[in-house]
Amino acid sequence: MMADEQVAERIGGVQTPALAWRGFMGVAGAWHLLGYAMFSVIERSSGRWIGRLGPWSPPGWPGKEIGWAIVRECWGRGYAPEGAAAAADWAFEQLGWTDMIHVIAPDNLASQAVARKLGSTNRGPGKLPPPHDNLAIDLWGQSREQWRRTKG
């Protein structure tokens, strides 16, 4: 996934296998140190790893994020909204989050569509911490109360 330019451009850029491994280890380490991080997405039919999604809030992040990244050949199959919804349920109920955001590039229409399916709205431009502080991003999101109303 991190070698695919079209996928990786939205999540930090193309990475060598060594850098991707380092990022993967950071996610695994966050589970041990914080008690949460993104989940691996495993395709049921094939058993293969196809992406990551879930809670993420590194230092300096503009909020508690539910994010997603799926390998390109699996885009459009509903994995991102389904998994992000389950992750949001978990973050609100188990982690006690009161708000969630999604960091989305202004031209990333596919992720904007996922955010809308989740019931999130565009809150306007945001800022990421260095070294990503030069990226144009919008912050999408909703409160726990809005999430509960959306789910009915």
Give the number of C-alpha atoms closer than 13 A to the C-alpha of residue 1, restricted to the C-beta side: 23
Using DSSP's 3-state secondary structure scheme, residue 137 falls into strand
pLDDT score for 115: 98
Predicted pLDDT at 5: 67
Nearest to 69 by CA among 108, 98, 100, 25: 108
Report pLDDT for 36: 92
DSSP reduced 3-state for 125: strand
Q: Are 100 and 90 in contact (CB under 8 A)?
A: no
Proportion of the chain in helix, strand, coil states, percent, rounded to 5 = 40, 25, 40
pLDDT at 7: 59
- Per-residue confidence (pLDDT) for residue 84, from 0 to 100: 97
CA distance 68 to 137: 15
pLDDT at 29: 72
Q: What is the pLDDT along the chain (152 residues), one digit of tens a residue?
A: 556 666 556 666 666 666 665 666 666 777 888 899 999 999 999 999 899 999 999 889 999 999 999 988 999 999 999 999 999 999 999 999 999 999 999 999 999 999 999 999 999 999 999 888 998 999 999 999 999 998 76
Domains, the chain, ordered by start: 5-151 (3.40.630.30)
CA dihedral 68, 136, 100, 33 (to 10 degrees): 70
